[in-house]
């Protein structure tokens, strides 16, 4: 039985040829968080408006996207405004990858191409603080899948970095008391990551693709971060 109804702002779609095996973002996030009592309600903000009110759900998730936050797309400014409203109202929010970037951009931060190039495959994320919602505690680096060309290069005022890697110095941050942003994809399994890398091989480059595929031989920490996300949403829910 779910006890949290979380609204997913869907900012993109998984490749259509992968959806028969994995579903799209709503199904992937449901698989990640469903066992933690989280029910997902979806707003596809690329084809329709954002929600009417920040309290329409118990909290919010923002998905990844193949687009860049600075692309001149008509749906991006309304989503930015909704994110500003969510933060102002202190509604629970977890923003992933593109969402992580868009949240920063919406509040005056800056997003740009990563100087180190594509971040793909499994990376080790070093968390710099031990927050109350980080249950179960985990002192070792967290292994999660990355899949991004862009990243946050300047944080908005009031944001605090809470995780980093050498490739991505702003890998996770908080903004106010109820917004958490994570650059990697806790919702992506090694299988999803492997298939995405294979489909983007020409774009990513052969050498980096091979290195990324090799990184997927070790387990990920999806289960730990899923528990953290659910705990964060629950702790900050009104």
Query: Dihedral through CA 135, CA 137, CA 140, CA 142, nearest 10?
Result: 0
Lowest mean pLDDT among 163-167, 185-189, 227-231: 163-167
Average pLDDT taken over every residue of the chain: 96
- Going from N- to C-terminal start, the domains of the chain cover 4-114+149-187+221-236
Q: What is the largest CA-CA distance in the chain?
A: 47
| Mutual angle of helices 25-33 and 222-236, in 10-degree steps | 90
CA nearest to 174, candidates 122, 134, 135: 134
Average pLDDT over every residue of 28-35: 98
pLDDT confidence bin for 44, thresholds 50/70/90:
very high
Query: CATH for 4-114+149-187+221-236, among 3.40.50.880, 3.40.50.620, 3.30.70.20, 1.10.3720.10?
Result: 3.40.50.880
User: Is residue 127 predicted with pLDDT exceeding 70?
Assistant: yes
Look up residue 185 and give its DSSP letter.
B
Please give the pLDDT value at position 139: 85
Average pLDDT over every residue of 51-74: 98
User: Is residue 37 predicted with pLDDT exceeding 70?
Assistant: yes
User: Is residue 188 predicted with pLDDT exceeding 80?
Assistant: yes
Tens-digit pLDDT profile for residues 137-165? 998 999 999 999 999 999 999 999 999 99
104 contacts: CB under 8 Å, gap ≥ 6: 110, 111, 152, 154, 155, 156, 159, 170, 173, 175, 181
Beta strand 93-96 with 179-182: parallel, antiparallel or unpaired?
A: parallel
User: Is residue 71 predicted with pLDDT exceeding 90?
Assistant: yes
CA nearest to 34, candidates 199, 173, 223, 171: 223
Q: What is the SS3 assignment for 211?
A: helix
Report pTM.
Answer: 0.96
173: β partners: 161, 181
Residue 135 is a catalytic residue:
no
Please give the pLDDT value at position 2: 61
Task: Spot the catalytic one: 11, 57, 97, 168.
Answer: 97
User: Is residue 238 predicted with pLDDT exceeding 90?
Assistant: no
Average pLDDT over every residue of 77-101: 98
Residue 11 is a catalytic residue:
no
User: Is residue 59 predicted with pLDDT exceeding 70?
Assistant: yes
Average pLDDT over every residue of 168-187: 98
CA nearest to 118, candidates 197, 46, 182: 197
Please give the pLDDT value at position 1: 43
Average pLDDT over every residue of 26-52: 98
User: Is residue 202 predicted with pLDDT exceeding 80?
Assistant: yes
């Amino acid at each position: 039985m779910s006890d949290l109804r979380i609204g997913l702002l869907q900012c993109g779609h998984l490749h259509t040829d992968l959806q028969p095996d994995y579903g799209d973002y709503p199904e992937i996030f449901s698989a990640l968080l469903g066992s933690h009592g989280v029910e997902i309600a979806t707003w596809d903000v690329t084809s329709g408006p954002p929600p009417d009110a920040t309290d329409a759900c118990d909290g919010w998730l923002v998905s990844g996207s193949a687009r860049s936050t600075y692309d001149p797309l008509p749906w991006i400014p309304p989503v930015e405004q909704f994110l500003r409203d969510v933060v102002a109202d202190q509604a629970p929010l977890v923003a992933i990858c593109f969402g992580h970037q868009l949240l920063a951009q919406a509040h005056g931060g800056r997003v740009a191409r990563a100087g180190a190039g594509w971040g793909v495959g499994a990376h080790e994320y070093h968390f710099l603080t031990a927050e109350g919602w980080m249950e179960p505690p985990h002192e070792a680096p967290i292994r999660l899948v990355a899949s991004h060309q862009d990243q946050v290069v300047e944080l908005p005022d009031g944001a605090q970095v809470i995780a980093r890697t050498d490739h991505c110095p702003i890998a996770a941050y908080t903004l106010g008391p109820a917004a958490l942003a994570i650059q990697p994809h806790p919702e992506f399994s090694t299988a999803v990551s492997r298939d995405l890398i294979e489909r983007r091989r020409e774009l990513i480059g052969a050498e980096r693709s091979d290195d990324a595929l090799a990184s997927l031989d070790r387990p990920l920490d999806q289960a730990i971060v899923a528990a953290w996300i659910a705990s964060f949403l629950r702790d900050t829910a009104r």
